[in-house]
């Protein structure tokens, strides 16, 4: 028992050290990139780590376990189909990254009905290079960097579904409201919203690059936006993995 407690305390100290180090790194980056956000820092850091071969078991970039990524994307697509997603529907992938999920939806949806949004275009521009030349022209994905203009443009497409998975874990607590503001800005009353994220008991930092958000913190960020998080299977689409649906209050 005492041994376990000591190990836990040692881990907490190590995490705090790593967090201080990352905070300093972010502060230095912000000084060199005034006005930019943590999300842009995350994108640059991730790119650097991918290029240095430091990212393993990742779902971003092209050097991933492709078989796993494709079967994961198929499982997600099948769950969306069970939830009523049809080819004529418009699906927004918020934080679309390297289009591993996007690929499955582009194949299934009618041309132009897959919408990928991200904080920067680097990952999806790189992802486009892996498709045959005529595929993109034929499937016509709508890919945009998140901005007030692109959010308006996407909302005008009247999305039926919004999916954001593998994203909230990269959003620090102080940016969580902004993340939900952007995401809900493209939603209409009929839009079903599914967030893939395992909420935790307490909020905090988890090395090497994750943020924990409690259900309480998520609920508080959503309250001002007129939404609530619903964790039960009855509200959700991806019932086999942790996450929640956003429903209007
Ligand atoms: C690990 S990847 C996940 C990609 C994809 N959703 C998937 O599950 O395969 C995380 C993505 O979230 C994006 N991202 C990070 N912070 C974000 C934010 N605040 N809003 C929207 N996207 C964000 C990153 O640029 C990156 O493409």
Same domain, 8 and 114: no
Same domain, 27 and 86: no
Q: What is the model's pLDDT at position 19? A: 84
Same domain, 134 and 178: yes
Q: Look at residue 243 and tell me if it is in a domain.
A: yes
Strands 161-165 and 142-145: unpaired
Q: Look at residue 206 and tell me if it is in a domain.
A: yes
Which of 119, 122, 179, 183 should be mutated for ligand 1, with most atoms under 8 A from CB? 119
Q: What is the model's pLDDT at position 71? A: 97
Ligand 1 center–CA 170 separation, angstroms: 7
Ligand 1 center–CA 51 separation, angstroms: 18
Q: Is the CB of 101 under 6 A from ligand 1?
A: yes
The per-residue pLDDT for range 196-227, each reduced to its tens digit, is 999 999 888 888 789 999 999 999 999 999 99
Q: Look at residue 198 and tell me if it is in a domain.
A: yes
Q: Look at residue 47 and tell me if it is in a domain.
A: no
- Inform me whether the pLDDT recorded for 14 exceeds 80: yes
Q: Is the CB of 222 under 6 A from ligand 1?
A: no
The per-residue pLDDT for range 109-133, each reduced to its tens digit, is 999 999 999 999 999 999 999 999 8
Q: Look at residue 46 and tell me if it is in a domain.
A: no
What number does the ligand 1 atom closest to the CA of 182 have?
Answer: 20
Ligand 1 center–CA 229 separation, angstroms: 19
Confidence of residue 30 (pLDDT cuts 50, 70, 90): very high
Higher pLDDT pick, 35 / 180: 180
Same domain, 90 and 183: yes
- Interhelix angle 215-223/176-185, rounded to 10 degrees, is 50
Which of 118, 121, 163, 208 should be mutated for ligand 1, with most atoms under 8 A from CB? 118
Q: Look at residue 120 and tell me if it is in a domain.
A: yes
- Inform me whether the pLDDT recorded for 56 exceeds 80: no
Percent of the chain with pLDDT over 90: 79
What average pLDDT does range 85-105 have in this prediction? 98
Q: Which domain holds residue 15?
A: 1-36
Burial of residue 28 (CB within 10 Å: 0-12, 13-18, 19+) is: exposed
C-beta contacts of 150-155 below 8 A and 24+ residues apart = 150/117, 151/117, 151/182, 151/185, 151/186, 154/92, 154/115, 154/117, 154/186, 155/185, 155/186, 155/187, 155/188
- Whether 228 contacts 195, CB under 8 Å: no
Which of 68, 80, 167 should be mutated for ligand 1, with most atoms under 8 A from CB? 167
Same domain, 135 and 238: yes
Q: Look at residue 90 and tell me if it is in a domain.
A: yes
Confidence of residue 15 (pLDDT cuts 50, 70, 90): confident
Q: What is the model's pLDDT at position 8? A: 86
Domain total in the chain: 2
Q: What is the pTM of this model?
A: 0.94
- Inform me whether the pLDDT recorded for 57 exceeds 80: no
Same domain, 26 and 139: no
Ligand 1 center–CA 2 separation, angstroms: 40
Same domain, 78 and 10: no
Q: What is the model's pLDDT at position 162? A: 98
Same domain, 27 and 71: no
| CATH number for 229 | 3.40.50.150
Ligand 1 center–CA 9 separation, angstroms: 31
Same domain, 197 and 93: yes
The per-residue pLDDT for range 139-176, each reduced to its tens digit, is 999 999 999 999 999 999 999 999 999 999 999 999 99
Same domain, 9 and 97: no
Percent of the chain with pLDDT over 70: 100
Q: Is the CB of 183 under 6 A from ligand 1?
A: no
Q: Is the CB of 124 under 6 A from ligand 1?
A: no
What is the pLDDT of the chain when averaged over all its residues?
Answer: 94
Q: Is the CB of 42 under 6 A from ligand 1?
A: yes
Q: Is the CB of 116 under 6 A from ligand 1?
A: no
Q: What is the model's pLDDT at position 234? A: 95
**Residue 145 and residue 150: Cα distance in Å, rounded?**
7
- Inform me whether the pLDDT recorded for 105 exceeds 80: yes
């Amino acid at each position: 028992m005492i041994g376990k407690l000591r190990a836990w305390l040692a881990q907490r100290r190590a995490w705090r050290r790593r967090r201080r180090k990352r905070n300093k790194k972010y502060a230095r980056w912000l000084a060199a990139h005034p006005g930019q956000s943590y999300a842009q820092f995350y994108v640059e850091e991730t790119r650097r780590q991918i290029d240095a071969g430091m990212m393993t078991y990742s779902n971003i970039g092209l050097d991933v376990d492709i078989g796993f990524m494709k079967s994961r994307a198929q499982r997600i697509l099948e769950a969306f189909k069970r939830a009523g997603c049809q080819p004529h529907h418009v699906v927004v992938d918020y934080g679309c990254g390297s289009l591993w999920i996007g690929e499955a939806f582009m194949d299934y949806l009618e041309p132009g009905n897959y919408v990928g949004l991200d904080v920067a275009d680097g990952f999806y521009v790189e992802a486009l290079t892996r498709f045959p030349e005529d595929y993109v022209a034929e499937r016509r994905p709508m890919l945009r960097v998140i901005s007030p203009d692109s959010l308006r443009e996407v909302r005008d497409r009247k999305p039926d579904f919004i999916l954001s998975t593998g994203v909230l874990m990269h959003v620090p607590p102080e940016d969580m409201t902004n993340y939900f503001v952007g995401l809900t800005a493209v939603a209409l009353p009929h839009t079903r919203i599914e967030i893939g994220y395992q909420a935790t008991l307490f909020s905090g930092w988890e090395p090497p690059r994750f943020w924990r958000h409690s259900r309480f913190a998520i609920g508080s960020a959503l309250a001002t936006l007129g939404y609530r998080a619903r964790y039960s299977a009855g509200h959700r689409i991806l019932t086999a993995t942790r996450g929640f649906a956003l429903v209007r209050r």
